[in-house]
Amino acid sequence: MSRLVVVSNRVPLPDENGNPPPGGLAVAVHAALRESGGIWMGWSGKTTGEEEPTGLTTLEHGKISYVLTDLTQADLDEYYNGFANRVLWPIFHCRLDLAEYARQEMAGYFRVNRLFAERLVPMLEPDDVIWVHDYHLIPLAAELRKRGVKNRIGFFLHIPWPPADILTALPVYEIIMRDLAEYDLAGFQTDYDLDNFVGCLRREKWGDRTDKNTVHAFGHDFAAGAYPIGIETAEFARLAEKAGEASMVGEMEQSLNGSALMIGVDRLDYSKGISHRIDAFERYLTRNPEMAGKLTLLQVAPHSRSDVKEYLDMQAQVEAHCGRVNGAHGTIDWVPIRYVNQSLTRPVLSGLYRLAKVGLVTPLRDGMNLVAKEYIASQDPEDPGVLVLSRFAGAARELDGAVFINPYDTDQTAAAIGRALEMPLDERMARWRRMMDHLLKNDVGHWCRSFLDDLSEAPLHHAAT
Ligand SMILES: O=P(O)(O)OC[C@H]1O[C@H](O[C@H]2O[C@H](CO)[C@@H](O)[C@H](O)[C@H]2O)[C@H](O)[C@@H](O)[C@@H]1O
Ligand SMILES: O=c1ccn([C@@H]2O[C@H](COP(=O)(O)OP(=O)(O)O)[C@@H](O)[C@H]2O)c(=O)[nH]1
């Protein structure tokens, strides 16, 4: 069996016993690494005061080596905060209005990818299978190829791939497309993302599909497919079942004083549509004044990427929206929106999901949205809640028992809240069962295995000669 080498911007480090941190991706990828042995490489999360990146730390746990590289402050500003999160993230989420392209940041992005390649090459063995994750590292395969690496290299994009009309606004569009074609397998969250990617190749006459999962572009064949990421479904269901034991969940239930709970859980990111959701909740309250005091929205929203201006702006905007609704609709004994920036643990989250009659997942665009899946996995089979889901989340391609909304249509989302709250038990059970069966079958272990199986069979355009 070949060794697996995983490369991602963040590395989920295990505890002192070698157990992975909670989180589906970390657990599934660790399981694959434990089986084959290998390396997980990425940013250490630290910046050095030096001008050149210095520190490279290796931690060994059983058959897995964690290789962590420090970055300089300039690297972090230009690669992560700059090009990755102020150019690629907004453009890939169709927010051209928020993209701030600067050549210096673009150069920093490619420089850090070169650094990762330089540091990885001496550790590689000829049979290693390399799996690169996400938009921070698109050029990595090209950098490895330039250094003579002929191994199988797969790439998985966790965020959406936009249509050609959007992506062509990216000044280095062609380089990004060519770099992606250096992988042996390019994996996307949904068939829509895959179609958009192929559409970009077609638009410029750079290539096209040759069959369902093969693309010919820039002179060679490579595999491309949709691999919707899953969660640890059974583990979430187990956590939720015993979640009443978590004191925070019990306290929450008591404090609701009989009012029904709706829940939203999102990193504070403009792609998540939190302000739109709050507006829709307000519209619902305005249209249903008899619900005053009978319905509470818990919005869990940990801070994210707070060094990026657009994130700070949206944080202020969400706070203002919550304050406005609470001021206008709240009473001395009822606050319509409970807004917390604290990050909650999985046992607590699973209990809160189960307590909530409605899960509100309303992103303007989202690669997948694991919260939607976790909400379903946490429900009581005898009395499940209802998922209100944006059609623009990757999860909408799978969770066909949700009540779908267009988050730009405030009236529709407000009406969906009413429909979810009033849905009869038999309909709730039938919708939930369909989605839960799908999630049990297509969990994160399935995702990991499908990707790695297909990578091991992908056409090798860089085969050793
Ligand atoms: O590392 P950060 O900058 O703090 O951001 C956190 C992660 O956000 C993104 O998540 C995406 O991946 C999820 C799992 O596949 C998917 O469900 C979600 O829709 C995506 O937005 C990002 O892609 C990750 O790299 C970040 O670590
Ligand atoms: O307080 C929190 C809020 C979120 N999450 C987790 O963060 C992930 C968010 O993933 P998602 O795909 O929904 O969005 P992303 O933040 O990756 O864009 C989910 O697994 C959540 O359970 C968490 O552990 N604690």
Q: What is the H or E stretch that residue 226 is in?
A: strand 220-226
Q: Which value does ipTM take for this structure? A: 0.98
Ligand 2 atom closest to Cα of residue 368: 12
Count Cα neighbours of 24 within 13 Å in the Cβ-side half-sphere. Answer: 23
Per DSSP, what are the bridge partners of residue 286? Answer: none
CA–centroid distance, residue 373 to ligand 1 (Å): 15
Whether 22 shows a pLDDT value over 90: the answer reads: no
- The residue-averaged pLDDT of 34-59 equals 88
For 4-230+445-457, which CATH class?
alpha beta
Q: Could you tell me if 352 and 325 are in contact, meaning their C-beta atoms sit under 8 angstroms apart?
A: no
* Start and end residues for every CATH 3.40.50.2000 domain found in the chain: 4-230+445-457, 233-441
Q: Does residue 464 carry a pLDDT above 50? A: no
Provide DSSP, 62-84. TTEEEEEEEEEHHHIIIIIIIII
Q: Lowest-confidence range among 88-92, 342-346, 451-455?
A: 342-346
pLDDT tens digits, 232-254: 999 999 999 998 766 889 999 99
Q: What is the pLDDT of residue 465?
A: 40
Question: How large is the average pLDDT for residues 411-423?
Answer: 98
CA 164 to CA 199: how far, in whole Å?
6
**pLDDT above 60 for 434:** yes
Return the pLDDT at 396: 98
Q: For residue 391, how far is its CA from the centre of ligand 2 (angstroms)?
A: 19
For 109-130, the pLDDT digits (tens) are 999 999 999 999 999 999 999 9
317: alpha, beta or left, given left = phi > 0 and alpha = psi -120 to 50? alpha
* pLDDT, tens digit (0-9, with 9 covering 90-100), for 281-295: 999 999 999 999 999
Q: Which residues participate in catalysis according to the annotation?
A: 158, 366
Which protein residues are within 6 Å of ligand 2, measured from CB?
265, 267, 300, 302, 343-344, 346, 349, 368-371, 374
**Which amino acid is residue 167, in one-letter code?**
L
- Rounded average pLDDT over 182-196: 98
Angle between helices 274-287 and 410-422 (to 10 degrees): 70
Reduce the DSSP state of residue 150 to 3 states and report it: coil
Residue 246 has what pLDDT?
A: 67
Cα gap 360→278, rounded to integer Å: 10
Residue 52 has pLDDT above 90, yes or no: no
The predicted structure's pLDDT at residue 356? 98
Structure tokens at 126: 């000829």
pLDDT 10s digits, 348-382: 999 999 999 999 999 999 999 999 999 999 999 99
Homologous superfamily assigned to 233-441 = Glycogen Phosphorylase B; (3.40.50.2000)
